[in-house]
Amino acid sequence: MTPAGKLFEAVAHGDEPRVVQSLADSPDLVWAADRDLKTALHVAAEHDQDRIAALLIEAGADLEAQTTGGMSPLQWAAKMGSAKVEALLMAATRR
Residue 68 DSSP code: T
pLDDT digits (tens, 9 = 90+) for 36-49: 999 999 999 999 99
Q: With a cut of 90, say whether residue 27 has pLDDT above it.
A: yes
Question: Do residues 8 and 34 make contact, with C-beta atoms less than 8 angstroms apart?
Answer: yes
Amino acid, res. 36: D
pTM over 0.85: yes
Whole-angstrom distance, CA of residue 93 vs CA of residue 14: 23
Q: How many CA atoms lie within 13 A of 35 on its CB side?
A: 1
Q: With a cut of 80, say whether residue 35 has pLDDT above it.
A: yes
Q: With a cut of 70, say whether residue 34 has pLDDT above it.
A: yes
Q: With a cut of 90, say whether residue 1 has pLDDT above it.
A: no
